[in-house]
Amino acid sequence: MGKAFCEHCREYVDVSLVTEKEVTEFEGMRYVYPVRYGVCQRCGGRATPDEVQAENQRSFLDAVRTENGIVSQRTIEAIPERYNIGKRPLSKVLGWGEQSYSRFIEGDIPSREYSKTISRIDRSPLAYLLILHTNTRALTDLAFRKSKEAAMRALTSTSSAAERAAAYILAKTGSSSPLGLQKELYYANGLCEAFLGRPLVSERCEAWTRGPVYPRLWETLELRSVREESMFGQEVAEAVGKTFSPEEREVLEAVISRIACYSPFALQDFTHREAPWREARTDVPDGEPSTNEISEESVRRFFHALKERYRMQKPADIGEYMQDMVKELQGSRIP
Ligand SMILES: [Zn+2]
């Protein structure tokens, strides 16, 4: 219910709101989006409140943005508040001109590249934290602290288990490569299956040529290698650690101490020899790209068997298997 001026009745009347799909042709493109209009309760004619018309206009602009791969105005507006940072400092953190973010809030449409960055930090508080830590000099200490705290709150309360686990590993190891992190998550997931009887993360895992990869995480992080020592510090590890059970933390610690010590390429070689990745690629020729899913079932079967074979009492016992894999690979390289 709302109030609007009815042209037919010549006065302000009560209206009920109805939603429908609108189609607009604009610059050679066809946009479909939801709009609402008001129906005069007295004469049944159309009478739409001004604020609803403004929403409809926004709905159209959002459709134009979505169709063209541009982030929505709502998302742009929400970020400074979510990460507790001013528009100008945010621009600087992102490495943009000081006024850029303010202009986007006022309605300027960002380029695809800028838009991609905004979407990424919207989807991933971890991505934002990484960018924030790379550009600490763009902010005063106080502004940095406030924004980091807000991002940590978002990370612990809204991020997926995959992202939180990635943050935990990054914070604890102080460095990682995108590829290594993917493998570390994969082993964390396998160990969780073996010891807790359930996966750690629910995200789809695919059998890429580079081994098991969680595409969603890969895409949001697009981790430039994180080298800066202890760039996260203990704080992030502690905050994120609390979101996992003690048993899950034990798994993550095992990954950090027994698996993160190997190079991403070694880990890739290990996974190439393991059943879950191989089974997912039975129909794919060697070296060909694939997005086939690595099934949870195959991960469970493989890691349960591994646990039996090595008589593992605790997750960290996977270290012995890792050492065997190194020996096996060295052996296979001798002609
Ligand atoms: Zn009317």
Spatial neighbors of 119 by CB under 8 A, at least 6 apart, are 71, 75
CA-CA distance, 134 to 198, in Å (whole number)? 35
CA of 263 to the centre of ligand 1 (A): 73
Work out the pLDDT band at 168, boundaries 50, 70, 90. very high
Prediction pTM value: 0.81
* Paired residues of 22 in beta bridges: 33
What are the pLDDT digits (tens) for 317-331? 999 999 999 998 887
Token pair 């992030």 is found at 236
CA of 133 relative to ligand 1 center, distance in Å: 58
Give yes or no for residue 19 having a pLDDT over 90.
yes
Q: Which residue's structure tokens are 């709905």?
A: 59
Are 227 and 291 in contact, with CB atoms under 8 Å apart?
A: no
Q: What is the DSSP letter of 109?
A: P
287-314 mean pLDDT: 95
308-314: long-range contacts (C-beta < 8 A, 24 or more apart)? 312/194, 314/195, 314/250, 314/254
Q: How confident is the model at residue 273 (pLDDT cuts 50, 70, 90)?
A: very high
Q: Which secondary-structure segment (H or E) carries 275? A: helix 275-280
Q: What is the pLDDT averaged over residues 154-168?
A: 94
Tokens of 261: 């010590």
Q: Which domains are present in the chain?
A: 2-67 (3.10.20), 73-155 (no CATH), 160-333 (no CATH)
- pLDDT tens-digit map of 47-84: 999 999 999 988 998 888 888 888 888 899 999 999 99
Residues with CB under 5 A from ligand 1 (ion): 6, 8-9, 40, 42-43, 45
pLDDT at 334: 56
Q: What is the pLDDT of residue 85?
A: 97
> What is the Å distance from ligand 1's center to 58 Cα?
26
Give the total residue count for the chain.
Answer: 335
pLDDT of 67: 85
State the pLDDT confidence band at 222, using cuts at 50, 70 and 90. low
Distance 135 CA to ligand 1 centre (A): 58
pLDDT at 233: 73
The overall average pLDDT reported for the chain is 90
Query: Measured in angstroms, how far is the CA atom of residue 51 from the centroid of ligand 1?
Result: 18
8 Å CB contact between 251 and 316: no
* Ligand 1 geometric centre to CA of 42 (Å): 5
Q: State residue 74's pLDDT score.
A: 87
Report how far ligand 1's centroid is from the alpha carbon of 11 (Å): 8
pLDDT of residue 229: 43
Output the CA 45–ligand 1 centroid distance in Å. 5
CA distance 244 to 203: 16
Asked if 193 and 258 touch (Cβ cutoff 8 Å), the reply is no
Check whether 225 has a pLDDT greater than 70.
no
Closest CA to 168 of 211, 218, 129: 129
Torsion angle in degrees (nearest 10) through CA of 19, 25, 27, 28: 130
110 SS3 class: coil
CB 109 within 8 A of CB 70: yes
